[in-house]
Amino acid sequence: MTMGIEVRRLTLRYGRQRALEDISFKLQGGKIYGLLGRNGSGKTSLLSVLASLRKQSDGEVFIGGQHPYENAAITSQVCMVGESVHFADSSSIRDVLRLAELCWPNWDDQYASQMLDMYELPLKKRIHGLSRGMKSALSVTIGLASRAPVTIFDEAYIGMDAPSRYAFYDEVLKDYMAHPRTIILSSHLIEEIENLFEEVLILDRGKLLIHEESEAFRARGASITGPEHQIDDIASELQVLNEQKLASTKSVTVYGELPAHLLERIEREGLAVGPVSLQDLFVHMTKKGAKER
């Protein structure tokens, strides 16, 4: 079972402050989406609205064609987990799993046990005795074992060490292939996880900057390197995101499709052209002082 998501002109205010402003997008069911943004960009606010933890101030949200807020038929099909589990410190891991089974009708207890074994989390261990990494491991276990048609990971794996995070990334892809659903991953660790994203959404200061297929978005960026005077001449016709200089050599990161005449010139003059990672594009497009695109 998969569920699509549609957001229409969503605005969320905290008092006079706007956390989200006039956001619209559609997410087809059954894909893995990356939600990226700097601290304070509105990622958690948006995800909280999708998970019905907050009600939007304006606009509409649809999950599976229905308004999710205070709609038990939909909220039971959405699971959002963060870095820490929000249960009483005195609760044991066994208590947490029992409650999770009541919350999500597609819960897979056997799979949850496998995940606990992988992360070496004993059922009797209480929340107050868990390290940061163990809490993250428990969170991702809940998210995956929920088998919710819409599963949201809001930086849930940040507390884990690198081997544990990579084990999680492998598990996400494996379980997604076996049990297709809509998965949204919010992360700062873009280089580690970007290969999972089929589509990417970028928030910047409460506004939706980009929503595009990951490969198409990567293809919009390029780095061009060569003698400074040649690069400056070519870059004058392009949207430059970043530039670096070493002696008489210069490299620019540009955004947008390279026109045919410039490609011909770049090849003719022997300049180097290379790809730009999703993380680099994200950093350059959301850095302080960057123009809206």
Domains of the chain by range and CATH? 5-213 (3.40.50.300), 220-286 (3.30.70)
pLDDT tier at 89, thresholds 50, 70, 90: confident
How do beta strands 249-255 and 221-227 pair? antiparallel
C-alpha 139/C-alpha 228 separation (Å) is 50
Phi and psi, residue 107, nearest 5°: -55, 135
C-alpha 174/C-alpha 94 separation (Å) is 25
SS3 string, 1-37, reads CCCCEEEEEEEEEECCEEEEEEEEEEECCCCEEEEEE
Q: Of 170, 159, 109, which Cα lies nearest the Cα of 137?
A: 159
Q: Within 10 A of 28 (CB to CB), how many other CB atoms are there?
A: 14
Strand arrangement, sheet containing 182-186: 78-81, 150-154, 182-186, 32-37, 199-204, 207-213
- Per-residue pLDDT reduced to its tens digit, 274-288: 988 898 888 888 876
pTM confidence score = 0.89
In this predicted structure, the answer to whether residue 293 has a pLDDT above a threshold of 80 is: no
- Per-residue pLDDT reduced to its tens digit, 226-235: 999 999 999 9
